[in-house]
Structure 1
Amino acid sequence: MNQERLYKVLLGPHVSEKATLLAEINNQVVFRVAADAKKPEIKKAVEALFDVKVESVQVVNIKGKTKRTARGMGKRNDIRKAYIRLASGQSIDFVDVE
């Protein structure tokens, strides 16, 4: 996998109450990822960009909600999230990452 693809796989961290609890309890981090990203690609991207050891990757696809607007029915975008379990003793600090 080339360097350009590494930057396109991870779209950004997903911050929520559930993600914060997982980070504290299970040593997991949640990222929004590209719709066509595969588990091995996600694992390599996280290991290369953050210099951590990844134990496992779980991926979930979330369908966008249908919403009513003034112009009729609309739909929010679908998203794909990756739950990444880090090896014990490893952590990602998003403040210090460039």
Structure 2
Amino acid sequence: MSTQQFSQERLMKVLLAPQISEKATFVADKNEQVIFRVAPDATKPEIKAAVEMMFKVSVDTVQVANVKGKVKRMGRFVGRRNNWKKAYVCLAAGQEINFAASEQG
């Protein structure tokens, strides 16, 4: 599947942010994967196309996980954080995404 199937405008809205955490760093080092927070309605082919378009890398596979929002309390009021979706993007051998460099250019 190529980038041409999806509108460029849609692909710009699929990736919301890189997921920076201790687990994400461990996964990145061990499996050459990068974790992104993505739009709740994003599909695997859309995520793959968006990463390839934005970072100019070749993507091997994409795995997605729906994350349930935590229940939080403010005094006697109980609320919930929003549910969100994250994508584990496995890059092709020898590829890497450097977030520090990509923000400047």
TM-score normalised by length of structure 2: 0.90
Equivalent position amino acid for 1:48 in 2: M
Which position in structure 2 is the counterpart of 1:10?
15
Q: Aligned partners of 2:18 and 2:76: how far apart in 1?
A: 32
Name which of 27, 45, 49 aligns with 1:44: 49
Q: Give the % identical residues.
A: 59
Structure 2 portions without partners, runs of 5+: 1-5
Q: Aligned partners of 1:67 and 1:24: how far apart in 2?
A: 32
How many residue pairs end up in the alignment?
98
Shift of 1:67: 1.2
Which position in structure 1 is the counterpart of 2:37?
32
1:1-98 equivalences under 5 Å are: 1-70=6-75, 72-98=77-103
Runs of 4+ in 1 over 3 A off after TM superposition: none
Shift of 1:71: 5.0
> Alpha-carbon deviations, 1:4-58, whole Å to 9, x = none?
1111000010001111011111100000000000000000000011011111000
Compare the two structures and name the one with the higher helix fraction: 2
